[in-house]
């Protein structure tokens, strides 16, 4: 049996997208598991109020196609997400409108307007044994996670697994970044969310992905595929292969491998369909794993390791000051309160910065980018 299905799909056209979805889901029984009256939540990626052509959100044509297929089965369909803003009707209605979800609503989907939150306890979790989630996901009979394949400043890549971070209410996201500021702890928290919700199916919109300064200010890049799987980690391994990301440089994949939830490479995944990696896909700078502690003996090596890792780690930086409009969004979102505005430009206190890249992710003009020190770039070469 296949672990991951990949189907070629070149454009966002309703009939073609419907055929691609049916073909992608076929190895996993299609939608035969859906029973009449089931409440199915499609957890989309609606990170920002972004027009579909910017390739930052799950495309409305795919969401419309999936809605129609589920409605044919007699399901009640809900589409939702919690962007990194206030989780209320004003913000979400604007996001739904700009992201083009009127098409899916006209096809019979309910756009989530339940803004209740719920505190849950999950003793089986590795790091997030208690967390707050959006209540509409709790009320689902089944969840289909429908993500967008993009580059990501903190996580290298965002795809199936990372999509569940949208279960955390928007204004609480900075708190979670601060609580789990180590990238591996953050990755384990996201894995815990997936283990808690256990989506019935994972789908990936990779017809148009985003490269470069993702996940919101990058550049659209044609990939031409729709993917499906029941295991989000094996699916992400194939996504990483598609865009040329080293699996163990993606914290969520490293965490999944360490937990025994997936193999170490896409070569160990049973893929149905043609896997054609995209040439020259631009990823954000990736931190390579170097064991600096072994350079010197004993405690001296430990101290040297800590200093070296701190000196070499990537961090956000205002690389395009002329693009900055002084909107204060980065300063307001920063969970560590490491940003102050000087002459209407953000100044980042490196001692306070926890490198969560929230500022880079939500900069509306892409002025803040992932920066790696020169010595780190030289060592990687």
Q: Which two tokens mark 346? A: 């953000």
Note whether 303 and 367 are same-domain residues.
Answer: yes
- Looking at the domain assignment, is residue 344 inside a domain? yes
Note whether 220 and 113 are same-domain residues.
Answer: yes
pLDDT recorded at residue 289 = 43
- Looking at the domain assignment, is residue 239 inside a domain? yes
User: Cα separations (Å) of 42 from 36, 103, 104, 163, 247?
Assistant: 16, 15, 11, 11, 27
- Looking at the domain assignment, is residue 168 inside a domain? yes
Note whether 330 and 192 are same-domain residues.
Answer: no
Q: Which two tokens mark 345? A: 């430009």
Note whether 71 and 210 are same-domain residues.
Answer: yes
Asked if 79 and 109 count as a contact pair (C-beta separation under 8 A), the reply is yes
**Count: domains in the chain:** 2
- Looking at the domain assignment, is residue 297 inside a domain? yes
Angle at CA of residue 273, ends 271 and 278, nearest 5°: 90
Of 245, 237, 145, 241, which is closest to residue 195 (Cα–Cα)? 145
Peptide bond into 110 cis (omega under 30): no
Q: Which two tokens mark 154? A: 């903190």
CATH code of 58's domain: 3.40.50.11440
Q: Which residues of the chain have pLDDT under 70?
A: 286-313, 372-381
CA–CA separation, 189 and 255 (whole Å): 10
- Looking at the domain assignment, is residue 220 inside a domain? yes
Q: Are strands 130-134 and 117-121 parallel, antiparallel or unpaired?
A: antiparallel
pLDDT recorded at residue 43 = 98
DSSP strands (E only) in the chain: 4-8, 39-44, 76-80, 110-111, 117-121, 130-134, 142-152, 156-158, 201-211, 219-229, 271-272, 315-318, 339-342, 345-348, 368-371
pLDDT recorded at residue 300 = 66
User: Which of the listed residues 203, 237, 272 is the one where a domain comes to its end?
Assistant: 272
Note whether 227 and 137 are same-domain residues.
Answer: yes
What phi, psi does 333 have (nearest 5°)? -80, -25
The residues that bridge with 132 in the sheet, in sequence order, are: 119
Note whether 268 and 352 are same-domain residues.
Answer: no
Range of the domain at 342: 292-380
User: Which of the listed residues 215, 239, 272 is the one where a domain comes to its end?
Assistant: 272
pLDDT recorded at residue 302 = 58
In angstroms, the first-to-last Cα distance of the chain is 40
Note whether 87 and 190 are same-domain residues.
Answer: yes
Note whether 129 and 192 are same-domain residues.
Answer: yes
User: Which of the listed residues 224, 242, 272 is the one where a domain comes to its end?
Assistant: 272
pLDDT recorded at residue 179 = 87
Note whether 261 and 311 are same-domain residues.
Answer: no
Note whether 218 and 327 are same-domain residues.
Answer: no
Look-up of token digits 């003793």: 123
- Looking at the domain assignment, is residue 137 inside a domain? yes
CATH code of 302's domain: 3.30.70.20
Note whether 367 and 233 are same-domain residues.
Answer: no
- Looking at the domain assignment, is residue 283 inside a domain? no
Q: Which two tokens mark 245? A: 């990301």
Note whether 324 and 218 are same-domain residues.
Answer: no
- Looking at the domain assignment, is residue 337 inside a domain? yes
């Amino acid at each position: 049996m296949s672990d991951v299905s990949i189907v070629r799909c070149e454009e966002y056209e309703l009939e073609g997208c419907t055929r691609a979805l049916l073909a992608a889901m076929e190895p996993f029984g299609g939608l035969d598991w859906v029973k009449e009256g089931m409440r199915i939540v499609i957890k989309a990626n609606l990170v920002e109020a972004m027009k579909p052509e910017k390739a930052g959100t799950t495309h409305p044509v795919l969401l419309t196609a999936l809605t129609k297929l589920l409605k044919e089965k007699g399901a009640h369909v809900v589409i939702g997400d919690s962007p990194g803003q206030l989780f209320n009707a004003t913000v979400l209605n604007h996001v739904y409108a700009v992201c083009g979800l009127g098409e899916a609503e006209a096809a019979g989907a309910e756009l989530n307007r339940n803004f209740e939150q719920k505190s849950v306890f999950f003793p089986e979790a590795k790091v997030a044994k208690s967390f707050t989630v959006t209540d509409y996901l709790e009320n689902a009979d089944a969840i289909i996670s429908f993500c967008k394949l993009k580059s990501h400043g903190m996580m290298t890549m965002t795809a199936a697994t990372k999509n569940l971070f949208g279960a955390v209410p928007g204004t609480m996201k900075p708190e979670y970044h601060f609580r789990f500021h180590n990238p591996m702890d953050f990755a384990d928290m996201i894995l815990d969310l997936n283990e808690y919700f256990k989506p019935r199916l994972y789908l990936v919109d990779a017809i148009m992905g985003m490269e470069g300064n993702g996940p919101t200010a990058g550049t659209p890049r044609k990939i031409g595929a729709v993917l499906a799987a029941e295991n989000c980690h094996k699916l992400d391994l194939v996504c990483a292969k598609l865009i040329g990301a080293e699996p163990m440089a993606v914290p969520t994949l490293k965490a999944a491998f360490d937990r025994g939830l997936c193999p170490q490479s896409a070569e160990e995944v049973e893929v149905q369909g043609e896997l054609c990696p995209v040439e020259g896909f631009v990823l954000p700078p990736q931190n390579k794993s170097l064991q600096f502690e072994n350079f010197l003996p004993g405690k001296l090596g430990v101290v040297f390791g800590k200093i070296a890792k701190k000196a070499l780690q990537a961090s956000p930086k205002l690389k395009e000051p002329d693009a900055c409009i002084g909107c204060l969004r980065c300063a307001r979102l920063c969970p560590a309160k490491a940003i102050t505005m000087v002459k209407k430009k953000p100044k980042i206190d490196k001692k306070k910065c926890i490198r969560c890249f929230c500022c880079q992710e939500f900069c509306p003009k892409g002025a803040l980018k992932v920066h790696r020190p020169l010595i780190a770039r030289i060592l990687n070469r």
